[in-house]
Chains A and B, each alone.
Chain A
Amino acid sequence: DAKTTQPTSMDCAEGRAANLPCNHSTISGNEYVYWYRQIHSQGPQYIIHGLKNNETNEMASLIITEDRKSSTLILPHATLRDTAVYYCIVITYNFGNEKLTFGTGTRLTIIP
C-alpha cells in the first residue's frame, strides 16, 4: 500500500471550513483513499473514501487531485466535536482482506 504524508497538527476556527491535506504520491491505480478520525479515548471512526472522483457525505467532502497524488478532506463547518486526529490511508480494495495502517495522522484542534 502506498505511504501517506500528513501535517502533524492544524488549528481551525469553529464554524470555518477545515481543510486537511494528504500526500500520497506513490498511489497506484487500484488504491483507494480512506479517511478516518479518532477522537480522544475512542476508537477510530470512518469518515469518507474515494478512488478518483470527488466525494461528499454528511460528514465531509473529499477532493482528490486529477493525478491522484494528493487529496484534501474538508469539514465544511467545523465544530468543537471535530477536534480529533485525522488519518489518511491508501489501501487496495480487497473486499475485506485489507488491514488499516494508520500513521501518526493530523491532530486537528478546533478553536472556539
Chain B
Amino acid sequence: DVKVTQSSRYLVKRTGEKVFLECVQDMDHENMFWYRQDPGLGLRLIYFSYDVKMKEKGDIPEGYSVSREKKERFSLILESASTNQTSMYLCASSLGRMRTSGGRLAKNIQYFGAGTRLSVL
C-alpha cells in the first residue's frame, strides 16, 4: 500500500513563526502536492512538484514556499505564519507522467496523507 506520512497531525504556532510541514511518501512517486482545506472552500492547491528540486505554484502560493531535495520528501514552509494560515494541510503524491503497466496507462491517482491541522495564534 502507498503510504504518505505527514510529520504532525496537530500543530500550534504563534504569529510570525517559521513553520515547517513535512511529508514523506514511500512509493517512489514523482509528483507531490500540498493542499489546504478550509470549510466551505474545499481543497485548494498551494504548490506541487513533479521532480526533485522542481516546483510549480498552485492556486494559492502566497505566504508559502516548498522544498523538494529528495524524491520522497516534500516540505511546505510558512516563512512567517499568520492567523489566516490556520487550516488543515494535506499532502499528496502520485505516480508521474507517461507510466504504463501491462500496456495500459497507469492510473494517476493521488494518495493523501492524514493531514496536519495547523492553528496559528
Q: How far is the CB of A109 from chain B (nearest CB, A)?
A: 18
Measured CA separation A67–B105 after assembly (Å):
24
Task: Count chain B CB atoms within 10 A of each CB in A42, A49, A100 and give the residue with the most.
Answer: A100
CA distance A45 to B90 in the complex (A): 12
Find out whether the CB atom of A96 lies under 8 angstroms from the CB atom of B94. Answer: yes
* Residues of chain A at interface, number, CB under 8 A: 20
Of the candidates A46, A95, A98, which one forms a contact with B98 in the assembled complex, judged by CB atoms under 8 Å apart? A95
Identify which of residues 73-116 in chain B touch chain A, using a CB-to-CB cut-off of 8 Å.
Answer: 90, 92, 94-99, 105, 107-115
Which of A94, A95, A99 sits near B33, CB closer than 8 Å? A99
**Which single member of B97, B99, B112 contacts A43 (CB below 8 Å)?**
B112
Find out whether the CB atom of A99 lies under 8 angstroms from the CB atom of B90: no
Q: Report the bound CA distance from A105 to B39 in whole Å.
A: 12
Q: Would you call A42 and B115 a contact (CB within 8 A)?
A: yes
With A95-B97, A96-B97, A99-B58 as known contacts, state yes or no: A104 contacts B90, CB within 8 Å: no
Determine if B43 and A44 form an interchain contact, defined as CB atoms under 8 angstroms apart. yes
CA distance A46 to B94 in the complex (A): 11
Given known A42-B114, A43-B115, A101-B43, contact A95–B107 (CB-CB < 8 A): no
Chain B residues at the A interface, C-beta cutoff of 8 Å: 4, 30-31, 33, 35, 37, 40, 42-43, 45, 48, 50, 58-59, 90, 92, 94-99, 105, 107-115
Interface of A toward B, CB cutoff 8 Å: 41-46, 49, 93-105
